[in-house]
Structure formats: structure tokens, C-alpha cells
């Protein structure tokens, strides 16, 4: 009976293998200890009493899953803010470098550069606003993982458009410039931005895998913790 009970909890936490294994061990240890100290002795009846006293397996798994998903979402929310902030620093560093090097903007396609810069700017600030909304959302409404996941996808998409715009503008600036050490700063800062978008994409995929399809978690869960 204990084995079946532990298996059910572990199966419902399968979205996080490490958590599932840890909870399996802790729950089983607790139940075996309860059976060993049962005043009526061991056996099937003692196992039944221990399981009944511990609580409904589904309710406990729901509670643990909500806590685990919310903790991961909080980390993802902080990562969104960190990556957007890093992208801003990289952009400002690149512009400062252009100023120090007295490096004029590319003049091959001035209309294209103006249009791309406008899209870039709006996309970046959209990413900032939506990213902050995602962070606030998971802090204030910790059970609403679906809303958080949607906001993360939107923030990542907006930042991706902004970084693509930066790549176009950087290419226009570098076009026709001879290779020298001064081109390293634009290239490195673009690499930082692109890597940040990649990290966000991986994080959003994990959020969707762990919390996608889940709306606000039920508040009618057991308060028992493992």
C-alpha cells in the first residue's frame, strides 16, 4: 500500500524528475517510520493507517507541484529582467564605443536604418514592459502560471525582434569597415544579446513544460508538507 501511494505521488510530479525522486524517498521514509512506531504493530493495517493519516496523494502532489512550479517561475521571471537589463547594457556599451571611436552610422541604406532603429526601439521597450509585467504577475499571483508563461513568451519575442534589429543596425555600421580590433566590441556585445535571447528561449520552454496548461492552482489543497 505504501509503495502504491508513493508511486502515485511520484508519477504526478514526473514533470520534475529530481523533485519526484526526492519526494518519493521522503514520503516513503516518513510512512515506514509511522508503520514502525504504530502502537498496534506493523502489517497492512498499520500501512493503511499511516497512509490515511498522511493525506490524499493527489492533493499533496498538487500542492508540491504548485510550489515547485512557482519557484521555477520566479527564477524565470528574475532571469527575464536580468537578460533584458544585460541587453540594454550591451546596447549602451556599443553606442558609447561608436562615440569614442567616432564611428559614423552606415550610410548605404539610411531609410532602412531609420526604420529598423524605430522598430528596434519600440520592440525593446515592449520587452521591458511585458517582462516587468511577467515578474510582477508571478510575485502577486503565484498560482497563475499560464498567464506568466504567456507574458514570458511575449517578452522573449519582443526582445528577439529588438536584438534582430540591433544585428541589422550593427551590420550596416560594420559594412565596408576594414577588419580591426575596434570591431570586436560591436561583435561581442551583439553576441551577449543573442546569447541572452537563447537563454530566455530555453527558460520559457522549461516554464511551459512545467506549468503550461495550468491555470490558477486550486487553493483547496492540504496544508500538510513533507
Summary mean pLDDT of the chain: 83
CATH of the domain at 161: 1.20.120
- Which residue carries 506568466 as its cell? 148
* Residue 187 falls inside a structural domain: yes
Over residues 88-107, the pLDDT tens digits come to 999 999 999 988 888 877 65
**Of the spans 141-145, 162-166, 205-209, 211-215, which averages the highest pLDDT?**
162-166
pTM of the full structure? 0.73
* Residue 83 falls inside a structural domain: yes
* Nearest by Cα to 27 from 42, 10, 39: 10
Buried b / exposed e across 158-181, counting CB within 10 Å, b at 16+?
A: bbbbbbbbbebbbebbbeeeeeee
pLDDT band at 210 (very low <50, low <70, confident <90, very high): low
pLDDT at res. 220: 36
Counting Cα atoms < 13 Å in the Cβ hemisphere of 6 gives 18
- H/E stretch holding 17 reads helix 17-36
* Residue 107 falls inside a structural domain: yes
- The predicted model gives 215-226 an average pLDDT of 37
Q: Are residues 8 and 95 in the same domain?
A: no
pLDDT at res. 48: 86
Q: Are residues 205 and 176 in the same domain?
A: yes
Residue 131 contacts residue 84 (beta carbons within 8 Å):
yes
How do the residues of the chain divide into helix, strand and coil, expressed in percent and rounded to 5? 80, 0, 20
Q: Are residues 49 and 109 in the same domain?
A: no
* Domain that includes residue 142, residue range: 72-211
Q: How many domains does the chain have?
A: 2
pLDDT score of 130 more than 90: yes
pLDDT score of 144 more than 80: no
Query: With pLDDT > 90 as the criterion, what percentage of the chain qualifies?
Result: 31
DSSP of 153-209, one letter per residue?
Answer: HHHHHHHHHHHHHHHHHHHHHHTTPPP-GGGHHHHHHHHHHHHHHHHHHHHHHHHHH
* Residue 226 falls inside a structural domain: no
Over residues 33-83, the pLDDT tens digits come to 888 887 777 678 888 888 888 888 889 888 888 888 888 888 888 999 999
Residue 35 contacts residue 46 (beta carbons within 8 Å):
yes
Q: Are residues 15 and 119 in the same domain?
A: no
Q: Are residues 38 and 106 in the same domain?
A: no
Amino acid at each position: 500500500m505504501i509503495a502504491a501511494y508513493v508511486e502515485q505521488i511520484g508519477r504526478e510530479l514526473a514533470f520534475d524528475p529530481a523533485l519526484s525522486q526526492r519526494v518519493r524517498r521522503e514520503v516513503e521514509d516518513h510512512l515506514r517510520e509511522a508503520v514502525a512506531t504504530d502502537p498496534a504493530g506493523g502489517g497492512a493495517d498499520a500501512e493503511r493507517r499511516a497512509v490515511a493519516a498522511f493525506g490524499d496523494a493527489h492533493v499533496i502532489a498538487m500542492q508540491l507541484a504548485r510550489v515547485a512550479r512557482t519557484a521555477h517561475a520566479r527564477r524565470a521571471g528574475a532571469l527575464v529582467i536580468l537578460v533584458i537589463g544585460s541587453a540594454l547594457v550591451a546596447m549602451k556599451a556599443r553606442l558609447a564605443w561608436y562615440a569614442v571611436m567616432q564611428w559614423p552610422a552606415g550610410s548605404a541604406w539610411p531609410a532602412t536604418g531609420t526604420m529598423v532603429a524605430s522598430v528596434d526601439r519600440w520592440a525593446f521597450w515592449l520587452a521591458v514592459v511585458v517582462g516587468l509585467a511577467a515578474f510582477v504577475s508571478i510575485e502577486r499571483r503565484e498560482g497563475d502560471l499560464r498567464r506568466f508563461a504567456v507574458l514570458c513568451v511575449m517578452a522573449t519575442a519582443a526582445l528577439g525582434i529588438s536584438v534582430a534589429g540591433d544585428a541589422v543596425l550593427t551590420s550596416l555600421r560594420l559594412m565596408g569597415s576594414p577588419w580591426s580590433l575596434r570591431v570586436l566590441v560591436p561583435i561581442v556585445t551583439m553576441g551577449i544579446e543573442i546569447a541572452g535571447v537563447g537563454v530566455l528561449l530555453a527558460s520559457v520552454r522549461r516554464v511551459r513544460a512545467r506549468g503550461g496548461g495550468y491555470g490558477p492552482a486550486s487553493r483547496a489543497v492540504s496544508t500538510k508538507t513533507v
